[in-house]
Amino acid sequence: MGTRMIDLTKIDPDRPVLIYGPTASGKSGAALKIAQTSGGVIVNADALQCYAGWPVLTAQPPAADLAAAPHRLYGHLPFDAPYSAGDWLRDVTPFLKAHAAGGPRPIIVGGTGLYFTALTEGLADIPPTPSAIRQKADTLSLTELIAALDPATAQGIDLRNRARVQRAWEVQATTGRSIRDWQNATPPPLLGLDDCTPLALSPDPDWLNARISERFDVMIKTGALDEARAMLPCWDPTAPSSKAIGAAEMIAHVTGQIDADSLKEAVIVATRQYAKRQRTWLRSRMKRWHQIALPDVAQNRLST
């Protein structure tokens, strides 16, 4: 969409805003600035921030931010609840409808690229996976899951990503149709890019890596280990919320399996790897979004 400056205080107040960015890139702060300046309800688009139990570890907005502007879809799910992109679309739809009827515009912010792609490009209405099929999938190895996929599906997904492979397997086992067939029948999107202000934060890797290291220290000071101790009695490594970056390492530390230095190194490395995948999604799937280079920020202005 070209290179220009975007002033957060002058975002069109009548259009929904989408803000995507890697972890620790400052997207939540940008959303809050827009909401405080020109109004709107901040809606979460991060798969792990939807869960209760790990608000500090998943960097959910702190109490002061929650009090400064309305926030929705943060921590609204129990730790073990299944939740898909389709579920998120159903949850975000009321905010879009409310805005169309004259209500506050949504400012949708998060780091789950699939949610934004589903919102702006459409998502096939695939039936939910029965628990028995999911339980069976959990017992299969990645190699077994891949072997059961049809060639076209296997060719079109990242075979190193177990979550993606297992999802494809579950759809095929549940419906008798490949996930590729379902995707080819995708309905129109709920919100087109021409009907909103889509912002994609593209930070310098070195700058972002430094912020990730700093944020780990902040998380420790603000209660991440207390969260781990509270979650320990119900800890289940297969639960959806347990995929939060650093959750397994925090549990390992509070149970004496790793020391503090090993904890810090493991979480920072995992977070940087996750941020790299998020930047890759941005480059490959968000070419029509306003690309925002960071840290080229002066007060409220973002250079795109």
**pLDDT single digits (tens) 33-51:** 999 999 999 999 999 999 9
User: Model confidence at 125, in pLDDT bands (50, 70, 90)?
Assistant: confident
The answer on pLDDT for 302 being more than 90 is no
- Output b/e per residue, 153-180; b: 16+ Cβ within 10 A: bbeebebeeeebbbbbbbbbbbeeebbb
Query: Which SS3 state, helix, strand or coil, does residue 291 take?
Result: strand
Numbered ranges of CATH 3.40.50.300 in the chain = 1-123+196-304
**Can you say whether residue 236 is alpha, beta or left, with left for phi > 0 and alpha for psi between -120 and 50 degrees?**
beta
Question: Which tens digit of pLDDT belongs to each residue from 103-115?
Answer: 999 999 999 999 9
What is residue 197's DSSP assignment? E
User: Is the separation of the CB atoms in 249 and 216 below 8 Å?
Assistant: no
> Tell me, what amino acid is at 84?
S
Sheet with 17-20: strands ordered across = 71-72, 41-44, 106-110, 17-20, 197-203, 290-294
The whole-angstrom separation of Cα 148 and Cα 109 is: 36
Whether 216 contacts 271, CB under 8 Å: yes
Please, what is the average pLDDT of the chain? Answer: 93
Query: How long is the chain?
Result: 304
Q: What angle do CA 279, 18, 3 make, to 5 degrees?
A: 65
Amino acid at 216: F
What local confidence, expressed as pLDDT, does residue 273 receive?
97
Question: Closest Cα to residue 115, out of 89, 141, 137, 142?
Answer: 89
pLDDT band of 216, cuts 50, 70, 90:
very high
Model confidence pLDDT, tens digit, residues 264-301? 999 999 999 999 999 999 999 999 999 999 986 433 44
**pLDDT tens for residues 162-212?**
989 999 999 999 999 999 999 888 889 999 999 999 999 999 999 999 999
Question: Is the pLDDT assigned to residue 1 strictly greater than 60?
Answer: no
Residues 292 and 302 sit within 8 Å (Cβ to Cβ) = yes
Q: What is this structure's pTM?
A: 0.84
* Element spanning 107, H or E: strand 106-110
CA 295 remoteness from chain centre? 21
CATH topology of domain 1-123+196-304: Rossmann fold (3.40.50)
DSSP characters over 5-56: EEEGGGS-TTS-EEEE--TTSSHHHHHHHHHHHH--EEEE--TTTTBSS-TT
User: Is beta strand 297-298 parallel, antiparallel or unpaired with respect to 301-303?
Assistant: antiparallel
